[in-house]
Amino acid sequence: MHQGIGFIQDLAVVMAIAGIVTVLFHRLKQPVVLGYIAAGVIIGPYTPPFQLIHDEQTIQTMGELGVVFLMFSLGLEFSLRKLFQVGATAIVAALSEIVVMLWIGYEIGRAFGWAVMDSLFLGAILAISSTTIIVKALADLGVKREPFAQLVFGILIVEDILGIAMLVLLGGIAQTGELSPGIAFVTLGKLLLFMTVSLLAGILVVPRVLGYVARVGSDEMLLVSVLGFCFGFCLLVVKLDYSIALGAFLIGAIMAESRHLQRIEHLVAPLRDAFSAIFFVTIGLMLNPLVLVDYAWPIAVISLAVVFGKLVSCGLGTFLAGRDGRTAMRVGMTVSQIGEFSFIIASLGLTLKVTSGFLYPIAVTVSAITTLTTPYLIRFADPLSRRLAHAMPPSVSNVFGMYSQWLRCLMPRSSGTQGPTLFSLTRRIVVQVAVNLALVSAIFIGASYGARYALPLLASWVPDERIQRVVLWSAALLLAIPFLVAVWRKTQSLALLLAEVSVQPEKAGRFTRALRHAIAELVPAVSMIGVFVLVAALSGTILPPTGFLIGVLVCAAVLTMLLWRWCVKIHASMQIALRETFDEGQDS
Amino acid sequence: MHQGIGFIQDLAVVMAIAGIVTVLFHRLKQPVVLGYIAAGVIIGPYTPPFQLIHDEQTIQTMGELGVVFLMFSLGLEFSLRKLFQVGATAIVAALSEIVVMLWIGYEIGRAFGWAVMDSLFLGAILAISSTTIIVKALADLGVKREPFAQLVFGILIVEDILGIAMLVLLGGIAQTGELSPGIAFVTLGKLLLFMTVSLLAGILVVPRVLGYVARVGSDEMLLVSVLGFCFGFCLLVVKLDYSIALGAFLIGAIMAESRHLQRIEHLVAPLRDAFSAIFFVTIGLMLNPLVLVDYAWPIAVISLAVVFGKLVSCGLGTFLAGRDGRTAMRVGMTVSQIGEFSFIIASLGLTLKVTSGFLYPIAVTVSAITTLTTPYLIRFADPLSRRLAHAMPPSVSNVFGMYSQWLRCLMPRSSGTQGPTLFSLTRRIVVQVAVNLALVSAIFIGASYGARYALPLLASWVPDERIQRVVLWSAALLLAIPFLVAVWRKTQSLALLLAEVSVQPEKAGRFTRALRHAIAELVPAVSMIGVFVLVAALSGTILPPTGFLIGVLVCAAVLTMLLWRWCVKIHASMQIALRETFDEGQDS
């Protein structure tokens, strides 16, 4: 009973001071997050009276749980459907904001004479706005349901995805020390593949299991299952060398497709609140006020850059994507701060030991300053846009007006009850081929990755190393057969379409049938060769020697023919299950 | 980001396996708690494939958080009012159960030739039934709202309090190695004093603060404040050398008087569920299946003893307290298991290193067995009591019938709208004097305890050690003055009452007035001397030398006269505040 006293004491100090400071900050009408950080500074080793925390390591671990729960909650709020609704505008605005802020951050860092890596991380820190702060500020101001707020949430979702991509890229750069376009491409490709596969597989499995558990009606069981999936998936992701943050976000996004989303959010909220409080306190713990005095000048410059940079880049992006000036101004003012994602990026830099110690406190302070200004900026957006509209010379406002009108002409009319066009049909088939190819690739990549563990195990059964590879590769192939069959069938349909379109009877004359037949047969065959080359490249380390390979392929071909109907059936039922999950989510 | 991977991995393993096993146990219609313990055994170091936990220390710490949240939730369900409702029956039944089971456990331990301390802890382990299991079983059977279930909950509340007293006593015995009646009396007296004072002070402060925070409407702020109070209070309790379990239970009981109890319960439930799952898994972690094979025989005997001992002792207690045979049988069958409290007691023994290693696994196994039998026993209670009634010879059932009738005659009729009698008036005043005396005692005990820390601090200001004591003692006296004034005023009223009753005009004749006056003046004066002796005894270590003492007392007397009205007012408003909190709770 008494072994954990030190830890309970730490927790008591953290929670008690967090509680007091939080109430105080609420009275002062300041965001609670700032209260937590202030509590951390008070408790921390750099301020009097003295170091109040005994076991900082354990508190840091609890803070990491806070990151997991924060990202998990972000994932729960993520939704592919919501993303499609705000669509293009959100993507344009978020991309414009991130690219501009990355550049501004990097340039500022270089101008202060900081190292390249510090400057790069500064850019990344400034790029992503804070969902927590924005949701809180909009709710406080009572404008959470207005259209511009919906657009802001869309931008935040896009930012979260791009932020996660950035985390992965930064991790890569930090390890190799450089960013070649090739490596970036491969890294992002692998990330995209991993995200697609885990989203697909997750959405097939997780909501079904949770639905089964939820039907029992016990909150306790549901919570433990949710946490089991959450941490289990995080573990898998960490083993694949991605960050816990990515894992928590992805599994959250998977669970967002569950019917029982609301109950899950309700159950996870107290855990998120408790541990994110600890996370923000740990941020304060690492803050040395003396550093802030030394770096007062950069902090001021960066804070101004965040506010004006985000206002201009995100606002302009919104405007260029076709919204009116008032909306653009409000969106720009709303996203003008940095927050939890910046802390995660800054701590990544510290953990990988590629950034200097001063970057973290600067990020925290800039976040605190811009968090403080956010509510005022949102309130100030409307008067400012009115005043700007008055003050603008007529010629300039004319140009803006013409741009808006031109853009409106460009946009396609919403086409009422038009049937599936050839284009949309083709697009759907291409997407299906891509998804199935992604799954096939994932299986073979997984097999090559798993070979490290599987081969030593196999070694005790089959001593011959070539036979080992045959076994492993055959197993992967067996798993992939349903998806390969699907790829084959979809390319066949695609080839038929292609043959119909490309070979016109008026040109080909009496060869029409023969030509069409040739195309319809050739294209799938060539594609399958391409698929084989891809698979061989991906599974290079476990590819059996040629002789064996041919044997395996022949066996697989025979097996496929025998099991053709079964393969088609299993793939179809998987597809239906996937669609059902999405539709269920949509109903609720 | 990557420093806590080992811990996240442990958590992932614990949560994932707990999730799977829980769903499995639910399908098998067995309690979830058993699933957690089974998950712990699977993960644990004693079973194949291998040790899945890397950082057992941190997981144990998390499990301890589970104990805190479990006891806190128990406290939240505790209620003085509920206790008064089931009143005497619950106390008689719980006392009978605990005393009998303590004795049975001790005797079994001695019969197996175990050490005295092992036997004593075995008795304590068997004494308390499991609230978690019972609530779950009654809910599953759909009989949670029946009168016998209400009685069972009353018994469980009494058991919780007695269990906490037992924890404290066992801790004392384990340290001194013996139990002299004097030490037990002092220990329990201190516990009672501490519980009274902290309940009073807590109920004055905590619900008010939480009410203020709750009005803001942010769940996050409320949760952090609740956790701040919870861990802060636990820390205080631990510093006073009591267990965390006691602290968590007490602060829970204090918060149970808050208006916002439901919201608090809702917020804490996920934390309790998550961490109690970890707690039960850690119990499984410590379970070595081989030990169970070695101790199969004691386990069987103890399991039978738990079922029959609790059935007979608690059932008979219920019957003797005046309930009918059927209710007694159902109550006895319901409480026939051991659970979380037993684990806490067993782990106390391990931590204090006074019990042998085998006691813990035995307790866990007996708990698992009796948990499994509980639902069947509850279901079996009615048929069994019917069959018993049939099979009983008429003479025996006559005796039982006569006992019930006799008891019913003994019970006081509920006396409709009778005014406050002299007796109830006296009782109320005596209670008030006792409560105020308790507060005064607590202040001086607190001051003597705090002297260790305060005197060195004072030393830098006043070098003279006597003056230091004067300062400290005066401060304590100053704090105590409002309560001392209250004691004085209440004893005055008591003396007046006494004078009226004891001096009858027909006997005392013309001395009536004088005699009554003398009594009314003398009794309070003598009482205050008694109070002074008590205070002097309690604060022996910081009592100033006689000369200084007289000076301080004179100053205090003058101050009291000057501040008399203010003292009366402050005490009255505290009393009103306390009553309001209770009434508010009652309304909701």
Question: Are B313 and B102 within 8 A, CB to CB?
Answer: no
Q: Do residues B489 and B460 touch, judged by C-beta distance below 8 A? A: no
Nearest CA in chain A to B349: A1
CB contact under 8 A, B224 and A271: no
Q: Is the pLDDT of residue A30 over 80?
A: no
Q: How far apart are CA A448 and CA B521, in angstroms?
A: 96
Alpha-carbon gap, residue A553 to A426, rounded angstroms: 30
Q: Pick from B1, B220, B351: which is nearest to A244 by CB? A: B1
Contact call for B18 and A220, based on CB within 8 A: no
| pLDDT in the model for residue A548 | 85
Say what the pLDDT of residue B582 is: 65
Judged by CB atoms closer than 8 Å, whether chains meet at B221 and A5 is answered as: no
Which of B2, B224, B231 has its CB closest to that of A22? Answer: B224
CA-to-CA distance for B369 and B301, rounded, in angstroms?
12
Residue B307 backbone phi and psi in degrees, to 5 = -65, -50
Alpha-carbon separation of residue B222 from B77, B110, B139 (angstroms): 19, 50, 29
Tokens of B229: 């109070």
For B421, the 3-state DSSP assignment is coil
**Interface predicted TM-score of the whole assembly (ipTM), two decimals:** 0.73
Q: Considering only CB atoms, which chain B residues are within 8 Å of A137?
A: none
Is it the case that residue A447 has pLDDT exceeding 50?
yes
Nearest CA-CA distance, residue A235 and chain B, Å: 6
- Is pLDDT above 80 for A31? no
Residue of A nearest to B276 (CA): A220
- Whole-prediction pTM: 0.75
Cα–chain center distance at B170: 14
Instruction: List own/partner pairs for A380-388 with CB under 8 A and 24 or more apart.
Output: A380/A333, A381/A326, A381/A329, A381/A330, A381/A332, A381/A333, A381/A334, A382/A326, A382/A329, A382/A330, A384/A329, A384/A333, A385/A325, A385/A326, A385/A329, A385/A330, A388/A325, A388/A329
| Portion 49-88 of A in contact with B at CB < 8 A | 58, 60-61, 64-65, 67-68
Asked if A22 reaches chain B (Cβ–Cβ under 8 Å), the answer is: yes
Per-residue pLDDT, B101: 93
Cβ contacts of A223 on chain B, cutoff 8 Å: 270, 273-274
For residue A358, how many other CB atoms are within 10 A of its CB? 16
DSSP assignment string, A86-152: HHHHHHHHHHHHHHHHHHHHHHHHHHTT--HHHHHHHHHHHHS--HHHHHHHHHHHT-TTSHHHHHH
Q: Judge contact between A491 and A523, C-beta under 8 A.
A: yes
B8 part of contact set with chain A, CB < 8 Å: yes
Distance CA B349, CA B357 (A): 9
Residues of B in contact with A67 (CB under 8 A): 1
User: What part of B 261-280 touches A (C-beta under 8 Å)?
Assistant: 267-271, 273-274, 277
User: Considering only A75-84, A100-109, A350-359, B165-174, which range has the smallest mean pLDDT?
Assistant: A75-84
Are A8 and B64 a contacting pair at CB < 8 A? yes
DSSP state of B540: G
Query: CB–CB of A276/A72 below 8 Å?
Result: no
Torsion of CA B510, B512, B513, B518, to 10 degrees: 130
Would residue B353 be called left, alpha or beta, if left means φ above 0 and alpha means ψ between -120 and 50 degrees? left
Provide CB contacts within 8 A for A563, sequence distance 6+.
A481
pLDDT tens track for B378-391: 888 888 888 888 88
Q: Cβ contact (<8 Å) for B15 and A228?
A: yes
How many Å apart are CA A119 and CA A105, to the nearest integer?
7
Nearest CA in chain B to A209: B23
CA distance B16 to chain A (A): 4
Distance from CA of B26 to the nearest CA of A (A): 9
Question: Residue B31, preceding bond cis, omega within 30 degrees?
Answer: no
**Number of residues that make up chain A:** 588
Identity at B146, one-letter amino acid code: E
Distance of CA B249 to the CA centre of its chain: 7
Interior CA angle at B212 toward B208 and B213, to 5°? 120
Measure the CA–CA gap between A128 and A99, rounded to whole angstroms: 10
Q: What residues in A contact B22, CB-CB < 8 Å?
A: 221, 224-225
Tokens representing A117? 């890596």
Contact B231 A60 (CB under 8 A): no
pLDDT for the residue B51: 61
Best residue in A13, A15, A21 for a mutation probing chain B (most B CBs within 10 Å): A15
Find the closest chain A residue to B17 by CA distance.
A228
Residue B285 touches chain A, beta carbons under 8 Å = no
Would you tell me how many other CB atoms lie within 10 Å of the CB of residue A552? 18
Name residues whose C-beta falls within 8 Å of residue A140's C-beta, 6 or more positions apart in sequence: A375
- A558 and chain B in contact, CB less than 8 A: no
The secondary structure of residue A48, as a DSSP letter, is S
Which pLDDT band holds residue A304 (cuts at 50, 70, 90)? very high
B22 interfacial to chain A (CB closer than 8 Å): yes
- Which of chain B's residues have a Cβ under 8 Å away from the Cβ of A18? 224, 228
C-beta atoms of B22 and A344 within 8 A? no
CA distance A536 to A519: 25
A418 — pLDDT class (breaks 50, 70, 90): very low
Is A333 in contact with A381 (CB distance < 8 Å)?
A: yes
CB < 8 Å to A65, chain B: 11
Set of chain A residues whose Cβ sits within 8 Å of the Cβ of B227: 15, 19, 274
More confident residue, A55 or A522: A522
Which candidate from B1, B221, B245 shows the least CB-CB separation from A23?
B221
How many angstroms away from the CA of B251 is the closest CA of chain A? Answer: 13
Q: Which of residues 348-387 of B touch A (CB under 8 A)?
A: 348, 351
Question: Rg of chain A over CA atoms, in angstroms?
Answer: 27
The A residues from 488 to 517 touching B (CB cutoff 8 Å) are: none
Closest CA relative to residue B499, chosen from B418, B436, B421, B426: B426
Average pLDDT, chain A: 82
pLDDT bracket for residue A584 (50, 70, 90): low
Q: Does A15 touch chain B (CB under 8 A)?
A: yes
Contact A532, A439 (CB under 8 A): no
Distance (Å) from the alpha carbon of B181 to chain A's nearest alpha carbon: 26
B9: which chain A residues are within 8 Å (Cβ-Cβ)? 235, 238
Residue-level pLDDT at A414: 47
What proportion of chain A, given as a percentage, has pLDDT over 90?
Answer: 13
| Separation of alpha carbons B246 and A110, rounded Å | 58
The Cα–Cα gap between B98 and B104 comes to: 10
pLDDT at A49: 61
From the list B64, B231, B348, the residue facing A16 with the nearest CB is B231
pLDDT in tens, chain B (588 residues): 344 567 778 888 888 888 888 888 888 877 777 888 888 888 887 766 666 677 777 788 888 888 889 888 888 887 766 666 667 788 889 999 999 999 999 999 999 999 988 999 999 999 999 887 787 778 777 787 788 888 888 888 788 888 888 888 888 787 777 667 777 777 788 888 888 888 888 888 898 889 888 887 788 889 999 999 999 998 888 888 777 878 888 899 899 888 888 999 999 999 998 998 888 888 888 777 888 888 889 999 999 999 999 999 998 888 888 888 888 999 999 999 998 889 888 888 888 888 888 888 899 889 888 888 888 888 888 888 888 888 878 887 787 777 777 777 765 554 444 445 677 777 778 878 888 888 888 888 888 777 777 777 777 777 787 888 888 888 888 888 888 888 888 888 888 888 887 777 777 777 888 888 888 888 888 888 888 888 888 777 788 888 888 888 888 888 888 888 888 888 788 778 777 766 655 444
Q: Do A351 and B3 touch (CB under 8 A)?
A: yes
Q: Where are the alpha helices (DSSP H) in B112-146?
A: 116-127, 131-141
On the CB side of A168, how many CA atoms lie within 13 Å of its CA?
Answer: 24
User: Could you tell me if B16 lies within 8 Å of chain A, comparing CB atoms?
Assistant: yes
Contact A235 B268 (CB under 8 A): no
Q: Does residue A59 surpass a pLDDT of 70? A: yes
Say if residues A133 and A369 touch (Cβ distance below 8 Å).
no
Local confidence band at A412 (pLDDT 50, 70, 90 cut-offs)? low
CA–CA gap between residue A210 and residue B249 (Å, rounded): 33
Residue A2: predicted pLDDT = 42
The stretch A384-401 carries a mean pLDDT of 81
**Of A16, A58, A348, which is closest to B58 when you measure between CB atoms?**
A58
Radius of gyration of chain B (CA): 28
Given a contact cutoff of 8 angstroms between Cβ atoms, the answer to whether B229 and A278 are in contact is: no
| Contact between A360 and A380 (Cβ < 8 Å) | no
Q: How many CA atoms lie within 13 A of A310 on its CB side?
A: 30
Give dist(CA B36, CA B22) in Å, integer. 7
Q: Does B139 touch chain A (CB under 8 A)?
A: no
Q: How far is CA B435 from the centre of its chain?
A: 18
Largest CA-CA distance found in chain B, in angstroms, rounded: 96
Domains with residue ranges and CATH for chain B: 59-383 (1.20.1530.20), 422-587 (no CATH)
- Nearest CB to A32 within list B220, B270, B274: B220
* A436 three-class SS: helix
Q: Do B1 and A245 touch (CB under 8 A)?
A: yes
Q: Encoding tokens for residue A534?
A: 């891809």
Give how far A169 is from chain B: nearest CA, Å: 15
CB-nearest to B1 from A17, A22, A351 is A351
Length of chain B counted residue by residue = 588
End-to-end CA distance of chain B: 46
Question: Look-up: residue for tokens 């085998």?
Answer: B358
Please judge whether A8 and B244 are an interchain contact, meaning their C-beta atoms are less than 8 angstroms apart: yes
- Mean pLDDT on A485-492: 86
CA distance A154 to A88: 10
Q: What's residue B307's pLDDT?
A: 93
The answer to whether the Cβ–Cβ distance between A12 and B60 falls below 8 Å is no
The DSSP 8-state label assigned to residue A460 in this structure reads T
Highest mean pLDDT pick, A136-145, A151-160, A235-244, B292-301: B292-301
